[in-house]
């Protein structure tokens, strides 16, 4: 399972870097839009049109790395009360619940993207179809769900999937 874990981790790092680059590009284009609007009264309509979905893609691209590096909230005081076995069972249950939530999110984003496609939803100004953007978000969440499944299996095997990090690492 180690090669699977390494592959997911490499893919998750690339995805999060792409997400951060997309967010940076959106920030720069927002500044450019503001300057063009102020100086020439000519805004970049694509920035307003695609801003929301761009941010959704950028944020969702960071979720797989978050779950692989176990960047979620952990309540550790229960470990002392539950004992070693109880703590292990709680960890497995928490990993299972996180997996269920990831799969539910992926499924719901798929339904949402399909509804947008069927309804031929477009952006208000440039009439760009929005469904493809939401399919990208959905793909990111399916990868997140698969990554969390790796974490669940590693937790059930009583192995740490990756060294626990307290901060999101993008290097």
pLDDT score, position 165: 44
Average pLDDT, the chain: 88
* Pair 85, 131: CB distance under 8 Å: no
User: In whole angstroms, what is the distance from residue 25 CA to residue 115 CA?
Assistant: 28
pLDDT at 16: 96
- When mean pLDDT is compared across 11-25, 85-99, 116-130, 149-163, the lowest value belongs to 149-163
- With a cut of 90, say whether residue 103 has pLDDT above it: yes
pLDDT at 2: 80
Q: What is the mean pLDDT of residues 137-141?
A: 97
């Amino acid at each position: 399972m180690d090669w699977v874990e390494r592959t997911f981790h490499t893919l998750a790092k690339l995805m999060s870097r792409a997400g951060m680059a997309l967010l940076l590009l959106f920030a720069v284009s927002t500044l450019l839009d503001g300057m063009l609007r102020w100086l020439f009264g000519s805004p970049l309509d694509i920035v307003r049109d695609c801003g929301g979905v761009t941010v959704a893609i950028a944020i969702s691209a960071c979720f797989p790395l978050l779950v692989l590096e176990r960047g979620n909230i952990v309540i550790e005081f229960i470990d002392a009360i539950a004992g070693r076995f109880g703590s292990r069972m709680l960890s497995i249950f928490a990993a299972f619940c996180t997996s269920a939530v990831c799969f539910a999110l992926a499924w719901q984003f798929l339904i949402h993207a399909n509804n947008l496609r069927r309804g031929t939803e477009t952006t208000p100004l440039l009439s760009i179809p929005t469904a493809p953007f939401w399919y990208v978000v959905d793909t990111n969440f399916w990868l997140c769900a698969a990554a969390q499944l790796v974490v669940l299996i590693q937790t059930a095997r009583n192995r740490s999937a990756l060294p626990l990090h307290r901060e999101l690492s993008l290097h």
